Amino acid sequence: MLTLPRPRLRHQAPKDLAGRINHHDHVAIFVRTGTNLRTLPHGATIAARLQARGSRMAAGETLIIEAPNARGTTIAVGFVGADTEAFRLHELARQLTAYKEPCGAIGLATAGLAGDHLDQAIDALLGAALARAPLPSFRTGPKRARPPAIELFGPPGQTARTIAAAQGNHLARALTALPGNHLTPPAYRRHIQKLARTEGWRYRFLDEKKLTALGAGAFLAVTQADKRGAGIVHLRYEPARSRREARTLALVGKGICFDTGGVNVKPARHMYNMHEDMEGSAVALGTLLALTALKVPFPVDCYLAIAENAVGPRAYRPNDVVRALNGTTIEIVHTDAEGRMVLADTLTLASRSRPGLIIDYATLTGACVYALGSRMSGGFSNRASHLPLILAASTASGERVWPFPLPEDYEEDLKSDIADIKQCTLEGEADHILAGLFLKRFVAHDTPWLHLDLAAGRHKGGLGLVPTDVSGFGVRFTLSLLLDQGLAW
């Protein structure tokens, strides 16, 4: 059910497109505006159609024709300008690569593009084509055809990174798509264990017994309703050749396999799709997979907080007071704010080994979705110097993250009469910011820390390169943050 697609990819010289087009069911081409269309295969037909439509060759426009060949090859053309941003490029690439099934072979090409633009266009086309690999399905009847073979008419450039990102994203989406009765905490752990063996990661599991001995009362508050298989998975990637000064990166993810809301139970409309509340952990895992494929020269720790937020006679309740792993006492206000509870202790655990940077991923707050919608995610950091890097990675990766502040005076809202801190407020005003401030308290040693509230974890109809509602948002953003913006490394 969880096999990662291995792309069948061949590189071809750009000039060979015309000769190969009859071998493809579908060809997607990015064309720089102003390019002579006669240089494209069936360019005369494309030019005539464009003219008949009365449209100019404007950036952002697309045109789809059926080639007058025996195969009836679909040729999807997208026009781009010199300043077309990555996100827009990705949205276009998603349209252009929407092949009809069955499709045995797809060609990806560009015309009139050079330098960085060319690399970005190739990355977008290939990323979008790979993102169409099918997610797990329980439908009976004929199986879906396997994804088409891909021929890439362009420089190989950065295709290794595109493939690594696509695989990490696919893993994140495939896990998130699995229903709650299939991806139970123990089943999730088995998938991770298997991956750890094939990828060569060190695997450790802190079960309830170990967490009780440690005193992880924030995590355990959530799991006391249903203890089956909950705990924190700790994975570690060690580079074959580590730079001596290389500091460890720590990835942390919220893995709530189903969120009923707890005794403050969610209404039906809000409980539907709550098997996806583990997406943050899947994105952390997908990012680890991509970094491993790219053989990054620094160690990576990955901590996944895996649990369910269940209803039951032993479930935690509002006004309960619990003691977190770092000693902080927390007054429970709303049992549906379970994400920050499991993350609090997981962040403490991750920061105690003093990594160079922690990044956490969580489908955390409705407030972040109200603030941004579901096309972008929210970014928070305990370092002001991170904010411009977040914006740069957001633009470069096409996964848009908008930074929010963590102002100290807002902490007043979390003052409790009976404990060190309240879990949240009942009003819910600025809850994404309060959740960030809450989590910040549990990061030990003032470790540099970045928190992603994944408002864009699900976007109806697809987002950027990804054609499914579940987006797996965050893998590409993180790769750009680490490898292009040089955050901490």
- The residue (of 126 and 470) whose beta carbon lies closer to Zn ion is 470
CB of 253 to Zn ion, least distance (A): 15
Residues that bind Zn ion (CB under 5 A): 259, 336, 338
CB 455 within 8 A of CB 372: yes
Q: 3-state secondary structure string, 377-428?
A: EEEEECCCCHHHHHHHHHHHHCCCEEECCCCHHHHHHHCCCCCCEECCCCCC
- The residue (of 276 and 399) whose beta carbon lies closer to Zn ion is 276
- The residue (of 123 and 336) whose beta carbon lies closer to Zn ion is 336
- The residue (of 195 and 364) whose beta carbon lies closer to Zn ion is 364
- The residue (of 5 and 428) whose beta carbon lies closer to Zn ion is 428
Pairing of strands 329-331, 321-323: antiparallel
The tokens of 187 are what? 């089943």
CB of 271 to Zn ion, least distance (A): 10
Measured from each CB, the residue nearest to Zn ion is: 336
CB 190 within 8 A of CB 34: no
340 as an active site residue: the answer is yes
- The residue (of 259 and 360) whose beta carbon lies closer to Zn ion is 259
266 as an active site residue: the answer is yes
- Enumerate residues 6+ apart whose C-beta is below 8 A from 247: 298, 355, 356, 357, 488, 489
Catalytic annotation, pick one of 32, 340, 441, 458? 340
Q: Which amino acid, 74?
A: T
CB of 432 to Zn ion, least distance (A): 13
CB of 220 to Zn ion, least distance (A): 16
CB of 334 to Zn ion, least distance (A): 9
Catalytic annotation, pick one of 88, 247, 266, 375? 266
Q: Does the bond joining 318 to the residue before it have cis omega, within 30 degrees of 0?
A: no
- The residue (of 331 and 336) whose beta carbon lies closer to Zn ion is 336
- The residue (of 226 and 259) whose beta carbon lies closer to Zn ion is 259
Q: How far apart are CA 128 and CA 192, in angstroms?
A: 26
CB of 61 to Zn ion, least distance (A): 42
CB of 458 to Zn ion, least distance (A): 15
Query: Hey, which residues are catalytic here?
Result: 266, 340
